Amino acid sequence: MTHRLFFGIKPPRPIRAALLDIMQEVDNARWQDDGQLHLTLRYIGEVDAHTADDIAEAATKLDFDPFELTIASTGIFERKSTPTTLWAGVAPSPGLTRLQAKIERLCQRCGIPAETRKFTPHITLARLNSSAGPVGPFLARHAGLHLGPWQVEDYILYESTLRQQGSLYEPIVTYCART
């Protein structure tokens, strides 16, 4: 049996509610729901049960201090000049950078190949395809988006199940900061 895993941070309810409130104005966008809103620290992908157990166990030994995060922008990811993802950006945070680097090293020690993409902290708001409407007006309207700050005191190992109506993200283990 395989497990599709990633590490993420779930924003607190008020931040998620504020993000849900702005999710409109782009026709045919596949907007995320409350259960899908998270900041991905490291996508792991499909792994066997033994590797999943190793990753979950290794993360119990990872120490980190609480830190603050703030939503500070909106943007898009593109593929071949076509928008594919609409997101809310997270302001630079030394605590986040340190935690993400530790998780990357943990994954590599557990046999997961190194991530080749640059870490761009964000929370996905919508998935876009060729039928999606223009995103420019949304980006212009929410260019000054600012939410938070909030205190990050834990991160989560999630299992992702692909479904036609969007992925289901199930928390497997929550890891808490040093107190």
pLDDT one-digit tens code per residue, 22-60: 999 999 999 999 999 999 999 999 999 999 999 999 999
Predicted pLDDT at 133: 93
pLDDT in tens, 68-98: 999 999 999 999 989 999 999 999 999 999 9
Q: Per-residue pLDDT for 154 more than 80?
A: yes
At residue 72, what is the residue type? A
Q: Per-residue pLDDT for 131 more than 80?
A: yes
CATH code of the domain containing 87? 3.90.1140.10
Predicted pLDDT at 163: 78
Place of tokens 């980006």: 139
Domain of 51 in residue numbering reads as 2-176
Number of domains in the chain: 1
